[in-house]
Structure 1
Amino acid sequence: MNKEQVERIHSGKGFIAALDQSGGSTPKALLQYGIKEDRYANEEEMYGVVHEMRTRIITSPAFNADAILGAILFENTMNRTIEGKFTADYLWENKGIVPFLKIDEGLADVQNGVQLMKPMTGLTERLKLAAERNIFGTKMRSVIKEANPEGIKKVVEQQFDIAKQILAEGLIPIIEPEVDIHSANRDHIERVLKEELLERLHALDPGANVMLKLTIPSEDNVYQALMKEPHVLRVVALSGGFGMKEANEKLARNHGLIASFSRALSEGLAAQQSDEQFNATLSNTIQAIYNASIT
């Protein structure tokens, strides 16, 4: 475990950039970037195009360690190179940004008001490869749609069971039980989720560190107890479908909570922009997310 990276994630000022759209979400992300589906003939070509987009973001002068602590990658991105280096090495060595890897394989169907993660095939091999590629930590997402205590418990249980496997491989897990922003009784879901998370965190082995990625809560600062829990390295927030302006406004009211935005980060970026336009747009976006993250 790289102590400099641990310290940066634990106490650095800034946010985590989420560059991990994959599978079904990739065509939508490319369309928002101004690239239509007729630009690629198959999945391999699609991932080539999306790597060009991510390379443009990562190599931009605006994408730097002054505001960005870490970046979450999709496995396909991890296995590709930027300027002759594997993406994780480029991020850390050239930019001073800590690399993470999305490891889940999508969501199961809704049951008990939640979507658990699908079974992960070859998880041990993926974690070993991540460690070889100098990845610092991982991210895995579940979704909670209803205030169903049994469902919420199952989500947290699954997340922590896999987190223990990740810790055993020397990586830091980002546990992401997303609360759907359209859920009724969101405030109640958040309180039940907080208690389930605290119970599981208290039961972790001494010295085991995890991160939490949570939907910006409906009640400001409701997750303060999670931030103070000794096993928690950092609590980060997903934009959850909010536009960047609204997400930043909500985030700024939650002290100590930092961003890990995906859609909001790439808002306004387009393949057709000149480098000057692209870098200026990205710079403004990063500054706005940074300002909301340091409150």
Structure 2
Amino acid sequence: MNTTQFDKIKNGNGFIAALDQSGGSTPKALAGYGVPEDAYSNEDEMFDLVHKMRSRIITSPAFDSDKILGTILFEQTMDREIEGKYTADYLADNNIVPFLKVDKGLAEKENGVQMMKPIHDLDETLRRANERNIFGTKMRSVIHESNQSGIEAVVNQQFEIAKRIMEYDLVPIIEPEVNINSEDKEKSEEILKNEILKHLNNLSKDENVMLKLTIPTKANAYKELIEHPRVVRVVALSGGYSREEANEKLKENEGLIASFSRALIADLSANQSDEEFNNSMKHAVDKIYDASVNKK
């Protein structure tokens, strides 16, 4: 493991950019960027366009390692190049820590949650992640209801796969998202915290994870997780909140930093000039950085 990158993620000031939209969410991401579905005729062209978008984001002067600690990549992005270097190497050379999304999407809703679909090629993906100089991984489940057995199953699955990821000397980001529109969101968060703590307390001293969680309804509800010795960092997803709302909620939580996707790129457009694009990017980065490091 790269100890310099580990220290940056654990102790650095800033946030993690999530640029890991996958096959199912890519058309929506491109549409938000001003590229309609009729602009491409097949999946290969679609992924070419989204890589062009991500390359423009990553090479923007506003995508600054003084404020951005790390970036979560989609698998195809890991295998593509930016300015003649594999994406993770380009990021690392610019002092930004690369992560890789490894899940294959969500299963159907059951017991109030959506588990991850099976990851049949996980070992091969992790082997390639090592070759591509990836630091850590990310995988997402979703909790819709405060169903004890459902939430327990989500957390069990996440930590089971996290153990396999750690065997490859990678740091897993465990992401059991709580739906922001859940009627019993706060109760779900309490159950989730307790289930996560059970697993954290059973990790050995050389096993470390990160957590990516929905900003809690009750400020500082995840304090125990943030301070746990086996947790490298706890980061927050925007979860459908606007950037302004997500930032305001984030500021209420000590030690919690952002890992935003939609809230980061919402104002960017393929039709912007480089100056307009970079100014929009700088505004988003500055606001999210401020919410991550300056607390109420």
Q: How far did 1:207 drift?
A: 1.7
How far did residue 90 of structure 1 move?
0.1
Code of the aligned partner of 2:224: A
3-state DSSP of counterpart to 2:264: coil
* Partner secondary structure for residue 24 of structure 2: helix
| 1:17-74 C-alpha deviation (Å, 9 max, x unpaired) | 0000011110000000000111111001000000000000000000010100000000
Task: Name the CA distance, whole Å, in 2 between partners of 1:42 and 1:64.
Answer: 33
Which amino acid in the other structure matches residue 10 of structure 2? H
Per the alignment, residue 220 of structure 1 pairs with 219
Q: Which residue does 1:110 correspond to in 2?
A: 109
* Equivalence for 1:101: 100
Q: How does 1:89-238 map to 2 (within 5 A)?
A: 89-93=89-93, 95-238=94-237
Give the whole-Å Cα distance in 2 for the aligned partners of 1:286 and 1:26: 22
Return the letter of the residue paired with 1:268.
Answer: D
**In structure 1, what residue type is equivalent to 2:228?**
E
Deviation digits for residues 230-262 of structure 1, max 9, x if unmatched? 100000000000010000000011111000000
Q: Which residue of 2 aligns with 1:63?
A: 63
In 2, the alpha carbon distance for the partners of 1:116 and 1:46 equals: 27
Q: When the two structures are superposed, what TM-score results if normalisation uses the length of structure 1?
A: 0.99
Asked whether 1:288 is paired with 2:278, we answer no
Q: Which amino acid aligns with 1:31?
A: A
1:52 corresponds to = 52
Measure, in 2, the Cα distance between the counterparts of 1:267 and 1:40. 21
Which SS does the other structure have where 1:120 is aligned?
coil
Partner amino acid, structure 1, of 2:138: K
Pairwise CA distance, 1:129? 0.1
Q: Distance in 1 between matches of 2:242 and 2:227?
A: 29
Counterpart code for 2:64: N
For structure 2, the 5+ residue unaligned runs are: none
Q: Distance in 2 between matches of 1:252 and 1:267?
A: 20
Gaps of 5+ in 1: none
Tell me the TM-score normalised to structure 2 length: 0.99
Matched, 1:21 2:21: yes
The whole-number CA distance in structure 1 between the counterparts of 2:191 and 2:280 is: 39
Deviation string, structure 1 residues 59-110 (Cα, Å, up to 9, x no partner)? 00000101000000000100000011000000011x2100000000000001
Superposed CA RMSD in Å reads 0.5
The aligned counterpart of 1:264 is: 263
1:219 and 1:258 map into 2 onto residues whose CA distance is 16
Q: Distance in 2 between matches of 1:219 and 1:106?
A: 28
Offset of residue 185 of structure 1? 1.2
Question: What is the CA-CA distance between 1:193 and the residue it aligns to?
Answer: 0.4
Percent of aligned pairs with the same amino acid: 61
